[in-house]
Chains A and B, each alone.
Chain A
Amino acid sequence: MLILGVISLAVFAVLAGQLYRLMIVRYDHYLGLSSENQFKYVRIRAHRGLVYDSRGSLLVAARPSLDLMITPAFCVACATEVLPKLGKLLEWDPEQGAKVEQLVTSAKGTQRYQPLVAQVDLTQDQFDMVAASLYRLPGVEIDPVPHREYRSGASLAHILGYMNEISSAEFLRFNQESDERPAYAIGDYVGRRGLERAFEPELRGRDGWVREVVNARGEVVRDEDGEIIRQTEVQAVAGESLVLSIDSRLQAVAESAFTADAGAIVAMESKTGFIRAILSRPSFDPNEMTGRVSAHRLRVINEDPLHPMLFRPGAQHYHAGSTFKVVSGLAALESGLFTPESQVYCPGGYQMGNRWWRCDLESGHGSLTLRQAIKVSCDVYFYRVADVLGLDPVARVARAFGLGETTNFRLAAEVPGVIPDRSYYDGGVRGRYSKGLALNAVIGQGDINVTPLQMAVLYSAIANGGTVLVPQAVLRSETPSGEVIHEFSPEVARKVEIDERFRALLVSALKAAVNEPGGTGGAARLEEVVVAGKTGTAQVAKLGAVRLRASQMKYWLRDHAWFASFAPADDPDLTVIVLAEHSGFGGLNAAPVAAKIFRAYFEMKRADNGLPPFVHRASRESAPASTESSAPLEHDDPPPDATLSGTQDLP
């Protein structure tokens, strides 16, 4: 009996010990758990910022998307019954079915209690089909989730970007810094490319968290008045809206004026660097990429030989062609070895060593000053410059204006392009430097590679007096109610010291190229504003000695057409760079596009300033068969052929 007594007392002592351990030693631990226990944390999604153009019209909006969600913990007989039923209703291919099954079965732990996105953006038909069968699809629900709506479609796709689901690596990385509640949840969308990516933190804002008192079954508890007992732990902060410098009306003009299959346009304010229109063709539909895109469509887009995803204004470089001659000309003047009055005789080619370097015009341009050489785009003048100066002084000037390095455009990927100098060859694998390389470089061929954005920066700098700008497309960020949060000001990369006399000469030459008889850029001439510009024809392939018209050549072998310009010439406002891939001669195929953009731009400007529309001479004379259409051709160089001077003779 005594033994029984001792045993029972000992057992009670053990119970008392356990109570001591739980209630005294680990009190804090359990108290913490018990207070956590009472709350369910509900995420309040922050509204993502919208995107407006410079005139306040909505470029990126939000629309409700019907997303199909599966909560694995509640999905009874998921793989065997629910998913096959869903697959039949939504016509999943085996690949997609397997993907969803993998998604549902791989959820572990508390993830099983979170709704996972099985398919985004159901069509109305799909919604009806699933909604009618929901009662036999446990764990399946359809939630309206705000999705991005890119109202400009494929236009501006590279600038705006798109969104898709966060990857698990990003999920970990993005949530690393958030100390309390995770910033992102599995299944959230994050910005890809363009603004969506560059301004992801600003656009996203911060999700809020609300604590709701719940009971053991997870049901919210209500107070005496029947109100849900909730407490805001973290206030949701809506994302910032962005106002772009891009004017969608000007953008539309650029889109319709540009008829080539591939190429780029940059229309940038010459004194600020703000982009008013930017085109990269071919493009893609960001609405398609955000959500519904099928693996098949992605393959089609990725295998398109024209690479629609490529951001041509910045991420692709091209030979500059004759648009580079402003750089060579400036280098010539700055060397002091050439003056504005120096003349070079063009007999239709240039003899250096034992090679004959052919000019554009086989019959020869005769004696030319620099101004005339730029106006008629004579190659021989610049061959002479290269022969005298060598490569390095030219490369120095080019680099001073930002060629050979990225422009720091924030919204899309960029390549630096190539500006070779002597060390580029001597140090590298490309063989040693020779004068011939310099002769090719001064006319923008050889290894000279530039991006349209870089050309916009270069021509703006010549126009504005040497200020090398950083191209930007965002004017300001705003709260949802329209209060300005941050105003972006023009960003200057550097200031180039440029002799005003030399600059004036270049501007005058560019003006002449467009506005004087015999200039190559006559197709860009406008009545209402003086355009200054330079044509360029960048050779893509070596074709031997045969001269061919563009239309006779295979697409991939045709030259790229450039037109680099600004207006008004003497008080520059807008710089327009047009690059039409494989379109042949720049004066014929790129300059008219620029003209249309200038015309629209200044027309809108007049309207903004309350001025009446500009009255054209044609309408004044009420003569429909006006000079307007024929005028550019009148002044154009006779043979707008794709000629292959220069490269064919390269050693």
Chain B
Amino acid sequence: MEMELRHRSVSNAPWTLALAVVGISALGIYNLVSAARPPAESVWKPQLLFLGMGLVAALVVALVDPRLIRKLTVPLFVANLIALVALRFVGTRAKGALSWFQLGPFRVQPAEFMKIALVLMLARYFHQQRPGLAKSYSLRQMLVPLAIAIVPIGLVLSQPDLGTALMLAFTSATLFAFAGLSRRTLIALGILAAFSAVVLWNDYLRPQSEPRTTVIRKLMKPHQDARIRGWLDPSSEVRSTNYHATQSKIAVGSGGAWGKGWKKGTQTGLRFLPEQHTDFIFSVFAEEQGFVLCMLLLALYSALIASSLAVALAAKDRFGVFVAVGITAMIFWQIFENIGMVTGLVPITGLPLPLMSYGGSSLISTMIGIGLLVNVAIRRGSFA
């Protein structure tokens, strides 16, 4: 019986998902060899190690009893919150942000794992709290999930890590939308969005005498402020605020249809790209591999997203559905924000491209997410 279940589960495992993950990871390693070339330290070997660790983690997560996962959700979330708070006291500062724990030779970024914990926590809430007859959540019912989301977002934002905070926010928002919101809730959130837009307009766009009276701008770090300004005014100078975006666009655009060739990117080779093996990894790929392979990469990501959604569609319990949607949303928003920023569509926020960027925390956390998806996929129908 046990053997039979396992057999059926494995055969049901979304092979597309696995293939997409393997394909993207392979391209990622190949690309990293070129992205971090001398004199920079070679990073593809540690990345291979992280990939192995990630695969093991994914396998473990995939095979674990979902009930155990549900049980562990709250302790995991709380532990992650504690880790985020602890960063302020024992964290390691890098690039102006207090986002890392130094563990021997490795640096761990708790915010990456908070993405998973937050998805699980929200899924658990929406699993336990049914919307009732209206089939949508009222404003009062939304207070708890809002609080669950806002606390970690606030902590991450204060590191400051705008990119990850935005990802947490987008992922949460997707889950809220998916859960179904009442008209009043939508109106209330709409007002919030409108208010944000007014603040943005007041702080950045409205012509007024300097120093401006601003609402949130005065609270921001100069580099964050400059990025938002650079995004709102792309014609500003190449070497100042918009420098990174411009250089990245040059790298991508100069790749052309077939690319400059592996290890032949000049933007990459001469280090015009900031963070070229992490946040701007896609620019390296585009410059050296060209449009056609970019399309292949996008197709692989599409396959990943589509198969993840298929997992969600097939999941039989609410927890599974929400976990699958949450993980999919998390991966999707990262892809969108990352490729969007390197091509100049959205403002630059420090953010890795899943499975492509160098970084253990991001890679392992993504692989755990994949493991969760597989877990949902192979258990579907098992606890209806």
State the A residues within 8 Å of B (CB).
1, 4-5, 8-9, 11-12, 14-16, 18-20, 22-24, 26-27, 29-31, 33-35, 37-38, 109, 213-217, 221
State the B residues within 8 Å of A (CB).
174, 178, 237, 247, 249-257, 266-267, 270-274, 286-287, 290-291, 294-295, 298, 301-302, 305-306, 309, 312-313, 325, 328-329, 332, 335-336, 339-340, 343-345
Question: Across the interface, which residues of B come within 8 angstroms of A26, CB to CB?
Answer: 253
Beta-carbon contact of A8 and B252 below 8 Å = no
Instruction: Evaluate whether A33 and B254 lie within 8 angstroms (CB atoms) in the complex, with A1-B309, A4-B178, A22-B343 already known.
Output: yes
Instruction: Evaluate whether A30 and B250 lie within 8 angstroms (CB atoms) in the complex, with A24-B291, A215-B270 already known.
Output: yes
Question: Across the interface, which residues of A come within 8 angstroms of B271, CB to CB?
Answer: 215-217
Name the CB-closest residue of B to A31. B254
Beta-carbon contact of A15 and B340 below 8 Å = yes
Instruction: Name the one of B287, B294, B305, B313 contacting A8, with C-beta atoms under 8 angstroms.
Output: B305
Name the CB-closest residue of A to B267. A34
Chain B contact residues: helix, strand, loop or mixed: helix
Beta-carbon contact of A37 and B272 below 8 Å = yes
Question: Across the interface, which residues of A come within 8 angstroms of B253, CB to CB?
Answer: 22-23, 26-27, 29-31, 33-34
Instruction: Name the one of B255, B266, B325 contacting A4, with C-beta atoms under 8 angstroms.
Output: B325
* 17 A-B pairs with C-beta separation under 8 A: A4-B178, A8-B306, A12-B301, A12-B302, A12-B335, A15-B335, A16-B298, A18-B345, A22-B344, A24-B257, A30-B249, A30-B253, A31-B253, A31-B256, A34-B254, A34-B266, A215-B272
Name the CB-closest residue of B to A19. B294
Q: Complex formed: what's the CA distance from A213 to B272 in Å?
A: 12
Name the CB-closest residue of B to A32. B254
Name the CB-closest residue of A to B273. A216
Beta-carbon contact of B298 and A23 below 8 Å = no
Beta-carbon contact of B302 and A9 below 8 Å = yes
Name the CB-closest residue of B to A11. B336
Instruction: Evaluate whether A37 and B266 lie within 8 angstroms (CB atoms) in the complex, with A4-B328, A29-B253, A216-B247 already known.
Output: yes
Q: Complex formed: what's the CA distance from A586 to B290 in Å?
A: 89
Question: Across the interface, which residues of A come within 8 angstroms of B256, CB to CB?
Answer: 23-24, 27, 31
Beta-carbon contact of B270 and A109 below 8 Å = no
Q: Complex formed: what's the CA distance from A5 to B267 in Å?
A: 35
Total CB contacts across the A-B interface at under 8 A: 117
Beta-carbon contact of A109 and B237 below 8 Å = yes
- Not counting A23-B257, A34-B266, A37-B272, a sample of 4 additional A-B residue pairs whose C-beta atoms are within 8 angstroms of each other reads A4-B329, A12-B305, A15-B340, A109-B237
Question: Across the interface, which residues of A come within 8 angstroms of B287, CB to CB?
Answer: 34
Q: Complex formed: what's the CA distance from A198 to B216 in Å?
A: 62
Closest 5 CB pairs of A and B: A30-B253, A34-B254, A22-B253, A23-B291, A216-B272
Q: Complex formed: what's the CA distance from A221 to B298 in Å?
A: 34
Question: Across the interface, which residues of A come within 8 angstroms of B298, CB to CB?
Answer: 12, 15-16, 19
Q: Complex formed: what's the CA distance from A618 to B247 in Å?
A: 88
User: Whole-angstrom distance from the CB of A221 to the nearest CB of chain B?
Assistant: 7
Question: Across the interface, which residues of A come within 8 angstroms of B340, CB to CB?
Answer: 15, 18
Instruction: Name the one of A1, A5, A19, A213 contacting B343, with C-beta atoms under 8 angstroms.
Output: A19
Beta-carbon contact of B345 and A14 below 8 Å = yes
Instruction: Evaluate whether A37 and B295 lie within 8 angstroms (CB atoms) in the complex, with A30-B250, A31-B254 already known.
Output: no
User: Whole-angstrom distance from the CB of B315 to the nearest CB of chain A?
Assistant: 10
User: Whole-angstrom distance from the CB of B243 to the nearest CB of chain A?
Assistant: 9
Beta-carbon contact of A8 and B332 below 8 Å = yes
Instruction: Name the one of B237, B270, B273, B274 contacting A38, with C-beta atoms under 8 angstroms.
Output: B270
Question: Across the interface, which residues of B come within 8 angstroms of A16, CB to CB?
Answer: 295, 298
Beta-carbon contact of B272 and A19 below 8 Å = no
Q: Complex formed: what's the CA distance from A4 to B313 in Å?
A: 11
Instruction: Evaluate whether A27 and B254 lie within 8 angstroms (CB atoms) in the complex, with A19-B291, A19-B343, A34-B266 already known.
Output: yes
User: Whole-angstrom distance from the CB of B284 to the nearest CB of chain A?
Assistant: 13
Q: Complex formed: what's the CA distance from A34 to B294 in Å?
A: 19
